[in-house]
Amino acid sequence: MFIPATYSFAVVLCLITMICWGSWANTQKLASKSWPFPLFYWDYSLGIIFLSLVFGLTLGSTGAEGRAFLDDLVQADSGSIGSAFLGGIIFNLANLLIVAAIDIAGMAVAFPVGIGIAWVLGVLVNYLAAPVGDPLILLIGVTFVVLAILLDALAYRKLATGKAQTPSKGIILSIAGGVLMGFFYRFVAASISEDFANPEVGLMTPYAAVFIFSLGIFASNFLWNSFFMYKPFQGRAVSYSDYLKIGTPKLHLTGILGGSIWCLGMVFSVIAGEKAGFAISYGLGQGATMVAAAWGVFVWKEFKSAPKGTNRLVFLMFVSFLVGLSLIIYSRFA
């Protein structure tokens, strides 16, 4: 199977992860306003399964190192399969909660609370499980990134001045989503052998683990996403019949594209974990927040009519993020 040979190449894969995780939501923006997020999410989850299977049957089944994808699935024990599957269940609920928090309280609340908690907790949990890199430099780097998220939130708060919001419910959802998001990656990483080239019997290679993880996302959709469809925290309820009535081939393909983009990032993040360490790999990937902000600033022009002083916050946000990103990368060499 294909695995990165050097730390430098692993960092490149992590940066691609960051771009993918920060860009997939653009497909939802491109979807029609008559296509609610819970319906979009079904196609999104199918896109994750589709690309994880494609990667498994191609990159995961070539080369002399590791185990072929199908052989790897057959030999995996129930513990490793269950761990990756549980990671999908946890991620799915966390993702839906954070999206709901954004809808209710706005980016200014959901991002610093939800993504900030997920980032710090995720790096901490993964580092304690597999300590790779200098802990002090890694901590300082994460601190700068969290500062960037806070500056991002302040910029969006200025943008949202005067708009009616109900932040209390949004804060609760953000905290719950952030805590869950901070743990999902560890369950996936725990199902993977530390040595990718000579994987341990019973554990999986990254490609098989991501595929099982994707099945966990899709299966849990029948519980989590069904709840959000029929009992939304905000907005109108939708049904399974709406998925068939409203959906067009273009809308379905847009959702599948969104899931495929996110899955590309997940695969690259996990296969980079051996050389980079899962804490660094996760930490770099979650830089997606700033990528999403860049889309908002430079493509969607969200700050075009922002109040005075907002552009300064946006500038400081990107500077803080680049400093944090550099420190996270350097922590592996220290």
Residue 233 placed within a domain? yes
Residue 173 to residue 79: CA distance in whole angstroms: 30
Report the pLDDT value the prediction gives residue 164, as an integer from 0 to 100. 53
User: How many separate domains does the chain show?
Assistant: 1
Residue 320 placed within a domain? yes
Nearest to 111 by CA among 179, 37, 174: 174
Residue 45 placed within a domain? yes
Task: Using a cut of 0.95, tell me whether the model's pTM lies above it.
Answer: no
Tell me the β-bridge partners of 111: none
pLDDT in tens, the chain (334 residues): 999 999 999 999 999 999 999 999 899 888 877 799 999 999 999 999 999 999 999 999 998 899 999 999 999 999 999 999 999 999 999 999 998 888 787 776 777 888 889 989 999 999 999 999 999 999 999 999 999 999 988 888 887 765 555 557 888 999 999 999 999 999 999 999 999 999 999 999 999 999 999 999 999 999 999 999 999 988 889 999 999 999 999 999 999 999 999 999 999 999 999 999 999 999 999 888 889 889 888 888 888 888 888 999 999 999 999 999 999 999 998 7
Residue 194 placed within a domain? yes
Residue 136 placed within a domain? yes
Residue 2 placed within a domain? no
Tell me the β-bridge partners of 192: 204
Q: What are phi and psi of 204, to 5 degrees?
A: -110, 165
Residue numbers of the domain that contains 112: 7-330
C-beta atoms surrounding 179 within 10 Å: 16
C-beta atoms surrounding 310 within 10 Å: 18
Report the pLDDT value the prediction gives residue 268, as an integer from 0 to 100. 98
Intra-chain end-to-end CA distance of the chain, in Å = 30
Residue 1 placed within a domain? no
Residue 179 placed within a domain? yes
Report the pLDDT value the prediction gives residue 202, as an integer from 0 to 100. 98
